[in-house]
Structure 1
Amino acid sequence: MKYEADCLSSGRPPQEETKMAGKQVRAQASWKADYPGAVVYDIPSSAWTYANRPHDLAITYVVIHYTQGESFHPISFGPGGLAHYGVGDDGSVDQYIQERYIAWHAGNWYYNQHSVGVEHTGYGRPQDWTEAKLRGSAKLVANICERYRIPIDRSHIIGHSEVPDADHTDPGPNFPWLKYMRLVRNYLGGGSPTSRLYRVQCGAFGNKQNAEKLVAKLKSAGYDAYVMEADGLWRVQTGAFTERKNAENMVAKLKKAGFDAIVVGG
């Protein structure tokens, strides 16, 4: 896939502004794809940031893109970033960056840290959204949502244009969101994986900075905390459990340490 205008505003961290024009990538097998069946590629580390997600940063979003180009192979990229995955007209999937790493694709550093990016070939025209492409993409996104317990809704599966401060329009007005979301749910089995989880929430804020301050306090106390945006609020959560009693035990532990905490979900 050729990454063109869509990736010129990547949201990479200021300290990692690296000139990447003209770099080429190649297919390789030195690491295993996160998504079974995806073809992996050797991408220079100047296009992404090391991390150990979801252990250090929660993955809570999937961001949908298109490439503004019809080519799929060979892959090259210019002075911007790129997404974790690319989906072709035939539904085939390539993986360029491991999910644990931060890809520079969303044009917003916070969303880069907490999302997986999925590119699609084409210009966003009606004819670009082939049945095979939509189904291949939906299978991929369902798999990502299942593994990271991401809710299958339009607050967590979003277009590049919906990322705050983004200056892009993809996937554009022709993207069939209703059909696509139905396909994602069907490939997962009809429901959101988060409906089976009990999460521990330590606060909800109208200001992201206040939420991040609480996350820092929790992490300094040894808790794996993260921020999740939902219903217009920045929610601080730590832990996700399949059994309510385990979530309640975590709440008790947090309260003993001086933090407010409640069980949500389930």
Structure 2
Amino acid sequence: MNVLWVGSPNHYQGRNGYGVDHITLHIMVGHLAGTDAVFANPGSTASAHYGIGADGTIHQYVAETDGSYSDANWESNNSTISIEHEGGMDGVPCTRACLDASAELMADIARRYGWDRLWHEGLDGNVWLHREVPGTDHAGCPDLAPNGLDVDYVIDKANALLAGAPSAGEDDDMQAIIQINDEPGLAYFDGSRLHTLTHPDQVTALQLVAQACGRTLPAIKVGSDQAPWGTRLREALQ
């Protein structure tokens, strides 16, 4: 699975005291390129953690350590990982490639947060639908819109992937792309050392290598100007 960091300015700094306890599924009502443009615009005050295109391309807009402006609900924004999917209107299908990529991403999220399975049961499960979140006016999102998301398919496939996932300890390397203390550049953490990245293509190359090895390379943020935990990470790895 290859996740391309795109980035959005529209997000909270951290999660305001909340922890991640669910995934919220969305439909774009359009194409991935349009969603990229909306989320890149600070005036839109909109974002999600991930967006998936018709060909299975996955873009990441917000680090999982930050809340996104996705659900029109403060608590859910700060406690979810939100995923947008291309489709949701006439002439713009939600393709099988998009669904399969979503299932793979959801299974990866579940593994990393220690969830044995994914299930949707209104707001009682760990998979929420945007239309069910209090405060939203997106009544068709993600599954009731034209060419909407096949929620049962992605959850069932994600759970099938989870059933075959390696157990804890079999695949426990801590590798990630890291933004430190809101600094403009990125670093690669290989599990023991930090490597400064000097070109955006280096991120893509690392993600391609991880994908070829059957791994996911998440992008996260450590620290901020006010709480420089990234500095402590650098010190710990010296």
TM-score tier, shorter chain, comes to 0.5 to 0.7
- Distance across 2 between alignment mates of 1:126 and 1:64: 21
- Deviating above 3 A after TM superposition, structure 1's stretches of 4 or more consecutive aligned residues are 124-127
Distance 2:15 2:27 in 1: 26
How far apart, in 1, do the equivalents of 2:113 and 2:8 lie?
Answer: 24
Identical amino acids, percent of aligned pairs: 25
Cα separation, partners in 2 of 1:179 and 1:114, compared to 1, 3 Å:
same
CA contact (8 A) 2:21 2:126 kept: yes
In the alignment, is residue 62 of structure 1 matched against residue 32 of structure 2? Answer: no
User: In the aligned structure 2, how far is the partner of 1:190 from the partner of 1:130?
Assistant: 24
Distance 1:179 1:87 in 2: 15
Q: Following TM superposition, by how much is the alpha carbon of 1:121 offset from its aligned partner in structure 2, in angstroms?
A: 1.3
Question: What are structure 1's unaligned runs of at least 5 residues?
Answer: 1-35, 194-266
Counterpart in 2 of 1:75? 36
* Post-superposition offset of 1:80: 2.7
Pick aligned residue for 1:180 from 136, 154, 167:
154
Q: In structure 1, give the amino acid aligned to 2:46.
A: G
Local SS of the residue matching 1:72: helix
Conserved 8 A contact 2:86-2:92: no
**Displacement after TM superposition at 1:49 (Å):** 0.8
The 5 A counterparts of 1:20-31 are none
The one-letter code of the counterpart of 2:156 is R
More displaced 10-residue stretch of structure 1: 157-166 or 96-105: 157-166
Larger RCO (CA within 8 A; separation ≥ 6): 2
Cα separation, 2, equivalents of 1:119 and 1:58: 20
Unaligned runs of 5+ in 2: 168-238
Q: Deviation string for 1:57-116 (max 9, x for gaps)?
A: 210010011111124278212523110000011111110110000101001000011000
TM-score with structure 2 setting the length: 0.58
Q: Deviations over 1:153-181 (max 9, x none)?
A: 10211211011222112113243222221
Q: Supply the RMSD in Å over aligned alpha carbons.
A: 2.5
**Max Rg structure:** 1
